[in-house]
């Protein structure tokens, strides 16, 4: 069965999700993991689907894109890629005055400590810039990583916190 | 610490699962999307033989499940308002009532709501951010004697009780997650 990575982005309007999901359902494309969110007035969808061939999905989404309001891409991906070993889950929160390079610098510190970012979102509200990242860290590195994050954040003039996000199993 | 006495309700009064007259059997734990997890459990007679056996089975199954601090009847396929809890030794627990089983439990006071990330044996691949009261008063009936009890608790035990009472109402933590980006792939298994 084909596994497809699909992105759809366009000016936000009511009905984008329903329109795209209907096209996929009609083709028998099974929507598995996805994230869909509004980014500064644009609606962005990133989806993994299983089912039909990429060309078939692309052709079916073309009428939506033809109005010039949506940009859709479809490509076949390899199912179940290599998953890195699980680490300890943490959330990194960064906020401060917007400037170039905050995400680049802070995520580089995470990577250099062996961390793996699994989810990240940013928001710019006026001059306030906010980064929230889910990150898996190798056991025992969080303590020293906090110092490195603090140093980098100070250079950037932003605040950073790193907190455990381990779930309570009930 | 035991629950405070109030009106007709008393704390656990030294109740332990060992007071149940039957040996619990290990039961298979069901996973979502099994429909039993989404059905509200029925009110039970806490003194009936059936409820006593169910209580013993819940305790036995909870005890052999790694990291398990609570188990509700729907999780073993029974749509009844019965659950077992034991947060003894958990690092986040403050007030601890030991191992106990409650029937027909309901929340009567819930305050100091706090967010936290939860996982569930019946949703093994996902976790989610859920707000729960960190100060809680719960009333329910003890299996066997049928004594009505009122438990006053907090912190992790309060979270566990709310999670189990939700199970008895046919609700999963997924029904209470904080938002569209508050469900996560679970990465660490016990």
What six digits make up the tokens of B83?
């659950």
CATH classification at residue A124: 3.30.70.260
Asked about B4 being catalytic, the answer comes back as: no
Same domain for A122 and A73?
Answer: no
For an interface test with B, give the residue of A17, A164, A170 to mutate (most B CBs within 10 A).
A170
Q: Which domains does chain B have, with CATH numbers?
A: 17-185 (3.90.45.10)
Same domain, A96 and A67: no
Are A58 and A102 in the same domain? no
Q: Given CB atoms, is A165 within the 8 Å cutoff of chain B?
A: yes
Is B181 marked as a binding-site residue? no
Domain membership flag for residue A122: yes
pLDDT for res A33: 94
> In sequence order, what E strands does B11-167 have?
70-72, 82-85, 100-120, 123-141, 148-154
Query: What tens digit of pLDDT does each residue of A28-44 get?
Result: 999 999 999 999 999 99
- Which residues in chain B have their CB less than 8 angstroms from residue A89's CB? 184, 187-188
pLDDT digit string (tens) for A76-120?
A: 998 776 676 778 999 999 999 999 999 999 999 999 999 999 999
Nearest Cα of chain B lies from the Cα of A166 at a distance, in angstroms, of: 7
For residue B183, what is the enclosing H or E element?
strand B183-185
Q: Between B69, B119, B156, which is nearest A167 by CB?
A: B119
Q: Which residues contact B8 (CB under 8 A, 6 or more apart)?
A: B148
Q: Does A7 touch chain B (CB under 8 A)?
A: no
Q: Which of A77, A106, A124 is the last residue of a domain?
A: A77
**ipTM of the complex model:** 0.76
In which domain, by residue range, is A136 found?
88-164
Question: Phi and psi for A8 in degrees, rounded to 5?
Answer: -135, 130
Domain membership of residue A83 (yes or no) is no
- Report yes or no: A80 at the B interface, CB cutoff 8 Å: no
Same domain, yes or no: A6 and A30: yes
Q: Where are the alpha helices (DSSP H) in B65-176?
A: 155-168
For chain A, the domain total comes to 2
Tens digits of residue pLDDT in B71-126: 999 999 999 999 999 999 999 999 999 999 999 999 999 999 999 999 999 999 99
User: Residue A166 pLDDT > 50, yes or no?
Assistant: yes
Known binder of ligand: residue B120?
yes
Residues of A whose CB is below 8 A from B119: 167-170
**Domain-ending residue, one of A33, A54, A77:** A77
State pTM to two decimals.
0.86
B118, B121, B156: residue with CB nearest A167? B118
pLDDT at residue A81, as a whole number: 64
């Amino acid at each position: 069965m084909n596994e497809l990575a699909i992105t759809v982005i366009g000016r936000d309007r009511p009905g984008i999700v329903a329109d795209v999901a209907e096209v996929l359902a009609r083709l028998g494309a099974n929507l598995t993991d996805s994230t869909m969110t509004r980014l500064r007035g644009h609606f962005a969808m990133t989806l993994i689907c299983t089912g039909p061939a990429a060309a078939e999905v692309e052709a079916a989404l073309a009428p939506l894109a033809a109005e010039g309001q949506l940009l859709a891409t479809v490509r076949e991906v390899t199912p179940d890629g290599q998953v890195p070993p699980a680490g300890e889950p943490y959330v990194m929160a960064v906020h401060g005055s917007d400037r170039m390079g905050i995400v680049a610098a802070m995520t580089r510190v995470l990577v250099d400590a062996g961390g793996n970012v699994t989810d990240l979102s940013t928001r710019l509200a006026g001059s306030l810039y906010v980064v929230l990242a889910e990150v898996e860290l190798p056991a025992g590195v969080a303590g020293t990583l906090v110092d490195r994050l603090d140093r980098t954040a100070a250079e950037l003039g932003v605040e950073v916190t790193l907190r455990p996000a381990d779930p309570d199993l009930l | 610490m035991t629950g405070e006495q109030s009106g007709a309700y008393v704390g656990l009064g030294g109740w332990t699962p060992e007071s149940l007259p039957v040996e619990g059997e290990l039961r298979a734990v069901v996973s979502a999307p099994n429909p039993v997890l989404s059905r509200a459990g029925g009110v039970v007679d806490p003194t009936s033989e059936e409820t006593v056996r169910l209580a013993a089975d819940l305790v036995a199954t909870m005890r052999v499940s790694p990291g398990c601090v609570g188990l509700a009847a729907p999780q073993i396929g029974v749509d009844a308002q019965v659950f077992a809890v034991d947060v003894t030794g958990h690092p986040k627990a403050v007030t601890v009532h030991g191992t106990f089983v409650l029937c027909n439990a309901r929340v009567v006071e819930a305050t100091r709501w706090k967010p936290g990330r939860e996982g569930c044996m019946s949703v093994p691949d996902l976790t989610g951010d859920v707000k729960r009261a960190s100060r809680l008063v719960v009333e329910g009936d003890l299996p066997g004697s049928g004594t009505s009890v009122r438990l006053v608790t907090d912190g992790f035990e309060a979270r566990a009780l709310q999670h189990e009472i939700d199970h008895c109402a046919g609700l999963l933590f997924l029904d209470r997650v904080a938002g569209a980006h508050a469900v996560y792939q679970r990465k660490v298994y016990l």
